[in-house]
């Protein structure tokens, strides 16, 4: 049996070594606190669960779903985009249901990238942007992204020959893992660049609803000319604590949305209609739950940032996302600092180098741990001083 060559080129699993060390400590009966996973600890709002309970009893929902998503779901997505960003979309041609945004992001490569092509991905980012290219036997050009450029991926100096083979530019702000947020000027520059070089701009907006201190994250589709070259990915996972439900949507340029839909028509048969009905309740129902959740994350963010600063670790206080991106102390690497926190404080964080070439020298701390455990982790980190 021979597996496809492309599988040999996938980046090694992010957590291999840390996971092994964590398992060894847990085996010894040690209480280890994980601040590594970006999976909300709070429950899905009641009105969404209630909508699901009702929807699951409808026999019509037990049949194959609409491949592109029910029209009602796509209308709810369009309504959300209008209410949240004042972006007007045609639900029939400019919105597509996804089985989680990860699925859509990964399959976008199948729709746009041939073997030997390039995708442009931030040098620190969600691993699926480059992993999806690898699975198409395509290549990734990592756009420089660092503290000096405000973690806004730099596309100014991409070699011409490589640019000629590029098909998609991936961006994602508010950013996982750095917490950076984009400016309108940056989005405008990226749109102009993609139009000039005939690229699809794929913007990942998974964290747009998790904002702090009054910040309101935008959609790239608000910007002039965006509908000419952009597709944007939305996820209900973080906005409504629905990671396990697997529901999201893609929207934007009709040609891009249709191309992704064509790939999906050939691969899956759509998301369970009952889940789409629950998602309609989330997108169009009361939104207080989102504000309440953001207040909890904001308090946790402050706890973590204070604790890190108390032990001399440099980090920005993010305006959005559920992550704190922290510089490791001098003399440490991402891996060594994560190992030290694990072995000496029994706290798990994610080494930044797992997010791409420029993630070295950082660790990512997730705010999705219940308050009492987070406080305990923070005390343990502080006691390292
Ligand atoms: C930046 C980013 N994009 C997309 C996703 C995928 O989210 P989902 O597939 O749950 O919608 C995640 C999940 O953590 C993420 O961090």
What tens digit of pLDDT does each residue of 224-233 get?
Answer: 999 999 999 9
Give Cα 39 to chain centroid, integer Å.
Answer: 11
Q: Which atom from ligand 1 is nearest to the alpha carbon of 38?
A: 14
**What's the pLDDT at 17?**
73
Write the class of the CATH domain 46-284.
Answer: alpha beta
Give Cα 132 to chain centroid, integer Å.
Answer: 14
Torsions phi, psi of 310, nearest 5?
-65, -30
**What's the pLDDT at 18?**
77
Q: Whose CA is nearest to atom 6 of ligand 1?
A: 102
Torsions phi, psi of 336, nearest 5?
-70, -35
**What's the pLDDT at 14?**
65
Spans of the chain, pLDDT less than 50: none
Q: CA-CA distance, 232 to 236, in Å (whole number)? A: 14
With the most atoms of ligand 1 within 8 angstroms of its CB, the residue from 171, 235, 318, 367 to mutate is 235
Residue 235 Cα to ligand 1 middle (Å)? 7
**What's the pLDDT at 185?**
98
Q: Which residues does ligand 1 sit against, CB inside 6 Å?
A: 38, 100-102, 126, 172, 176, 204, 206, 235, 237, 243, 248
Write the class of the CATH domain 5-43+288-382.
Answer: alpha beta
Query: pLDDT, tens digit, for every residue of 103-142?
Result: 999 999 999 999 999 999 999 999 999 999 999 999 999 9
DSSP, collapsed to helix, strand or coil, labels residue 56 as coil
Considering the chain, tell me which residue range(s) the CATH 3.90.1150.10 domain(s) occupy: 5-43+288-382
**What's the pLDDT at 255?**
98
**What's the pLDDT at 385?**
62
The answer to whether 58 and 255 have CB atoms below 8 angstroms apart is: no
Residue 311 Cα to ligand 1 middle (Å)? 31
Torsions phi, psi of 214, nearest 5?
85, -5
The answer to whether 134 and 288 have CB atoms below 8 angstroms apart is: no
Q: Which atom from ligand 1 is nearest to the alpha carbon of 39?
A: 14
Tokens of 121: 């991905």
**What's the pLDDT at 383?**
85
Residue 271 Cα to ligand 1 middle (Å)? 17
- What sign does the dihedral 364-365-367-368 (CA atoms) show? positive
Q: CA-CA distance, 233 to 251, in Å (whole number)? A: 7
Considering the chain, tell me which residue range(s) the CATH 3.40.640.10 domain(s) occupy: 46-284
Task: Tell me the pTM.
Answer: 0.96
């Amino acid at each position: 049996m021979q597996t496809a060559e492309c599988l040999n080129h996938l980046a090694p699993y992010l957590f291999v070594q840390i996971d092994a060390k964590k398992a060894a400590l847990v085996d010894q009966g040690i209480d280890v606190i994980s601040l590594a996973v970006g999976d909300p600890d709070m429950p899905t709002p009641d009105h969404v669960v209630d909508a699901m309970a009702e929807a699951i009893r409808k026999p019509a929902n037990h049949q194959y779903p609409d491949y592109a998503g029910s029209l009602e779901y796509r209308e709810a997505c369009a309504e959300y985009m209008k209410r949240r960003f004042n972006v007007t979309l045609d639900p029939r041609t400019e919105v597509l249901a996804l089985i989680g945004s990860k699925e859509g992001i990964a399959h976008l490569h199948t729709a746009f990238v041939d073997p030997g092509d390039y995708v442009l991905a931030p040098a620190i980012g969600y691993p699926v942007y480059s992993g999806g290219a690898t699975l198409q036997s395509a290549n990734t050009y990592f756009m420089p992204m660092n503290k000096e450029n405000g973690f806004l991926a730099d596309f100014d100096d991409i070699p011409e020959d490589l640019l000629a083979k590029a098909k998609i530019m991936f961006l994602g702000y508010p950013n996982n893992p750095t917490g950076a947020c984009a400016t309108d000027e940056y989005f405008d520059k990226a749109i102009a660049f993609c139009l000039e070089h005939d690229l699809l701009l794929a913007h990942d907006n998974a964290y747009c609803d998790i904002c702090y201190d009054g910040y309101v994250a935008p959609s790239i589709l608000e910007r002039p000319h965006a509908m000419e070259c952009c597709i944007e990915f939305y996820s209900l996972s973080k906005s409504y604590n629905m990671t396990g439900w697997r529901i999201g949507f893609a929207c934007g340029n009709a040609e891009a949305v249709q191309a992704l839909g064509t790939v999906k028509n050939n691969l899956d048969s759509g998301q369970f209609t009952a889940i789409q009905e629950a998602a309609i309740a989330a997108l169009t129902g009361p939104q207080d739950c989102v504000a309440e959740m953001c207040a909890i994350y904001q308090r946790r963010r402050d706890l973590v940032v204070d604790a890190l600063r108390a032990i001399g670790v440099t980090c920005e206080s993010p305006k959005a996302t559920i992550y704190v991106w922290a510089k490791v102390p001098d003399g440490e690497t991402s891996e060594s600092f994560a190992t030290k926190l694990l072995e000496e404080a029994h706290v798990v964080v994610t080494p930044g180098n797992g997010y791409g070439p420029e993630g070295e020298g950082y660790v990512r701390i997730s705010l999705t741990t219940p308050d009492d455990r987070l406080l305990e982790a923070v005390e343990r980190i502080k006691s390292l001083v």
